[in-house]
Structure 1
Amino acid sequence: DEAAGNPVALALRSAIDAFALPPERLEAMIDARLQEMAPQDDFNLVAFEAYAAEREGERLRLASQIAAGGHDLDDRSAHAPAGLAVALTGMLSALPIRAGAAPTLFPADVAARHGASLQDFDLRRASAGVIAASAEMRALAREKLAEAESRLATSPRAILPAFVPLGALGLDLDRLERNAAQPFEPTREVSALRRQWAIWRWARKR
């Protein structure tokens, strides 16, 4: 009520009312943003998965409810693997910007498994361990993308517009793959036309 004069808050509140959006899911997204700014000391893969569920998974779930006119029809929980795939790709894409300047959110246990440390990421050292750990995260993102696609294949068509971001996710993972040996160097962005074409093809297959 106190924020009613803010147009963004007003629009958000209207959407909550119109589509019966659970406030606790929006609160979870806020909690995830706080985790981005100050992750726990032992931030591992389990913690990343929890973060991804709140940051991207809840966003996709809310979007699917809006697409379905206020009904929660994601009975196959496609938002869970989709959210993790989106979050992993986003984390890896942000390494050139965040490494050394902000928390990268790279799971410490995955880095350690390949003989690397979070300090390597902070110092932007593209060691063999860092490269291998990043490759594991790309592979996990592709696995979760495939799982999300499989779940969407048997999901109500009404929720599909919410998952359009998955259409170009493969392009982003391919881009990261080409830059695998230099994870801290900016990659060449996919053209807007190619991205739109990938999304169009993804939608046509549904």
Structure 2
Amino acid sequence: MADAAIAHVSELLRQGDKDRFLCDLFVPAEKRPHIMALHAFALEIARVREVVSEPMPGEIRLQWWRDAIEGHGHGNVAQHPVGGLLLEALDRFDLPRQPLLDLIEARSFDLYDDPMGSVAELEGYGAATVGPTLALPALALDRGIAGADLDPVSQSGGIAYATAGLLRAIPLHASRGQVYMPLDVLERHGTDPALLLAGKTDERLRAALKEMATLARSHLSLALDAARRLPAGVVPALLPLALVTPYLDRFERAGCDPFSPKVDLPQWRRQWTLWRSARRGFA
């Protein structure tokens, strides 16, 4: 591993996904660069929408990553600071590649302005986009974990973390004309995406968002129940789950108003939460 690539990946996470960066500080030093590479890959895919002006260039970027993971990379993928470390991690820890391909496929949704149609669609999106960022680092820390034991953590945990993140990101998505809140939930509460896109809320919309927060808590409970049955050595890989409850608590104390400045969680609180969970696990 080149020191420059490791420094690049670390700084990429520190600037673009501070929560993952903080979580990865609890990973054993000898495995930290590779796990950071897995998270940096997820960040690169997540921010494709930010760096393209229309879907087609975004699809091209996603295809580049598909080809790299499948071994059909264009150019010298190994020289790409994230791509090189990612491929090294997959080989070193004998990690499955299909979850990363599924992550890329799910993220293609981000390139378009189609709304999320249903809760089932959102759950699939969350499991596919966040699940691998929990499961693969856990496998890297303990390759002896059975997939059947890890699946409930990565799937329900992915849904919980993704839902909490999407609730917090509503202002950003609304500014882009995107709606990730499921249409079936909005319709059930007698509201529609237009209010979100206008940067406004009312009682019905806040009730719909409260339902989504409750859904996240339900999935988090399932994930943590399963996590408690895993070896203690994989706790650093699952630390992002420790942030879901404080994020949701903050969101609900702000009246489930995503446009309230009170939704944000101070960094010191995030660091303290991660430190406590790293010491105690999910007991």
- TM normalised by structure 1 equals 0.90
Q: Is the 8 A contact 1:85 1:141 kept in 2?
A: yes
How many Å apart are 1:71 and its aligned residue? 4.2
Partners in 1 of 2:116 and 2:274 — Cα distance?
37
Question: In terms of mean alpha carbon deviation, does 99-108 or 32-41 score higher?
Answer: 32-41
State the AA in 2 paired with 1:34. Answer: S
Match of 1:191 among 263, 266, 271: 266
Q: Check 1:23–1:130 CA distance in 2 against 1; reply closer, same or farther (3 A cut).
A: same
Question: In terms of mean alpha carbon deviation, does 125-134 or 83-92 score higher?
Answer: 125-134
- Residue 66 of structure 1 corresponds to 140
Residues 33-52 of structure 1 mapped to structure 2, 5 A cutoff: 33-38=107-112, 40=114, 43-52=117-126
Partners in 2 of 1:122 and 1:103 — Cα distance?
8
How many Å apart are 1:41 and its aligned residue? 5.3
- Residue 126 of structure 1 corresponds to 201
- Residue 94 of structure 1 corresponds to 169
Partners in 1 of 2:155 and 2:277 — Cα distance?
19
Partners in 2 of 1:111 and 1:180 — Cα distance?
17
Q: Check 1:192–1:66 CA distance in 2 against 1; reply closer, same or farther (3 A cut).
A: same
- Residue 21 of structure 2 corresponds to none
- Residue 244 of structure 2 corresponds to 169
Q: Is the 8 A contact 2:115 2:182 kept in 1?
A: no
How many Å apart are 1:182 and its aligned residue? 2.7
Q: Secondary structure at the match of 1:151?
A: helix
Q: Secondary structure at the match of 2:277?
A: helix
User: Does structure 1 residue 81 correspond to structure 2 residue 153?
Assistant: no
Q: Secondary structure at the match of 1:184?
A: coil
1:37-63 deviations in Å (ceiling 9; x for gaps): 226556211111111111001221111
User: Does structure 1 residue 150 correspond to structure 2 residue 225?
Assistant: yes
Partners in 2 of 1:73 and 1:39 — Cα distance?
38
1:68-94 deviations in Å (ceiling 9; x for gaps): 1x4444533211111110000000000
What value does the CA root-mean-square deviation take over the aligned residues? 1.9
Q: Is the 8 A contact 1:131 1:181 kept in 2?
A: yes
Q: Check 1:181–1:145 CA distance in 2 against 1; reply closer, same or farther (3 A cut).
A: closer
How many Å apart are 1:31 and its aligned residue? 1.3
Structure 2: gaps spanning 5 or more residues? 1-72
1:114-151 deviations in Å (ceiling 9; x for gaps): 00112222122302221000000011111111111111
Q: Is the 8 A contact 1:65 1:73 kept in 2?
A: no
Q: Secondary structure at the match of 1:17?
A: helix
Instruction: Give structure 1 regions of 4+ aligned residues with deviation exceeding 4 angstroms.
Output: 39-42
| Higher relative contact order (Cα pairs below 8 Å, separated by 6+ residues) | 1
Q: Secondary structure at the match of 2:79?
A: coil
Partners in 2 of 1:52 and 1:82 — Cα distance?
9
Q: Is the 8 A contact 1:74 1:159 kept in 2?
A: no
How many Å apart are 1:96 and its aligned residue? 2.0
State the AA in 2 paired with 1:193. Answer: W
User: Does structure 1 residue 135 correspond to structure 2 residue 207?
Assistant: no
- Residue 178 of structure 1 corresponds to 253
Q: Is the 8 A contact 1:73 1:159 kept in 2?
A: no
Question: In terms of mean alpha carbon deviation, does 35-44 or 167-176 score higher?
Answer: 35-44
Identity %: 31
How many Å apart are 1:204 and its aligned residue? 2.8
